[in-house]
Amino acid sequence: MTESPTPGSTGQDKLIIDMKVLVADAQEFLHATTDQVGETVSALRTRLQENLKTAQVRLDEAENTLVGKVTEALRDAVNKASEAATKAADAIEEAAERAGEAATQAAQSGKESAIHAAEAARDAAQKAAVAGWDAADKALAAVAEIARKAKDTIA
């Protein structure tokens, strides 16, 4: 059972993989020396079995902690994405309100002013939409990056 760390692995990921390999090798060694007799070998086997149990428990705890951290990071990313989407929606709504106000004022002022106001309103709405898309793209990229890291960590 030889696992190799992935290129994006963190130090903790590599440690967990190394520990898994060490536990597997020790278990294989215990199995291979089952027929060996003697007080020293017997005592060593007993001590090794106890240490392997302890190591496995600690390894499981470390993996659970790591999964918990990844889950928390994903929640944070989703929250940030939601906040960004809300801000973008607010910006679009504000731009639409301004556009409506400008159009109303322009209509009251005359035809040429109405054209300028409509162009300004259109430009403001386009800028708000672009800002909204940018915010959504950034949020999506953040969630995708965290999901990739989570996949790499868990795999």
The larger pLDDT score, comparing residue 153 to residue 57, is at 57
34 DSSP assignment: T
Query: Does 5 score more than 50 pLDDT?
Result: no
Question: What pTM does this model have?
Answer: 0.48
Report, as an integer, the average pLDDT of 9-22. Answer: 75
Query: Does 125 score more than 70 pLDDT?
Result: yes
Contacts of 12 (CB under 8 A, 6+ apart): 62, 66
Distance CA 128, CA 147 (A): 28
Degrees to nearest 5, angle at CA 117 with 114 and 119: 110
Report, as an integer, the average pLDDT of 61-83. Answer: 81
Report, as an integer, the average pLDDT of 63-89. Answer: 80
Report, as an integer, the average pLDDT of 115-128. Answer: 75
Report, as an integer, the average pLDDT of 7-34. Answer: 75
Query: Does 8 score more than 60 pLDDT?
Result: no
Per-residue model confidence as pLDDT tens digits over 131-149: 777 777 777 777 777 777 7
Radius of gyration for the alpha carbons in the chain, expressed in angstroms and rounded: 30
Residue ranges of alpha helices (H) inside the chain are 11-32, 39-109, 111-154
The larger pLDDT score, comparing residue 5 to residue 12, is at 12
Report whether 45 contacts 30 (CB < 8 A): yes
What pLDDT, on the 0 to 100 scale, is given for residue 45? 79
Coil, strand or helix: which one is 79? helix
The two structure tokens encoding residue 89:
């929606």
Which long-range contacts (C-beta less than 8 Å, at least 24 apart) are formed by 10-14? 10/153, 12/62, 12/66, 13/66, 13/152, 13/153
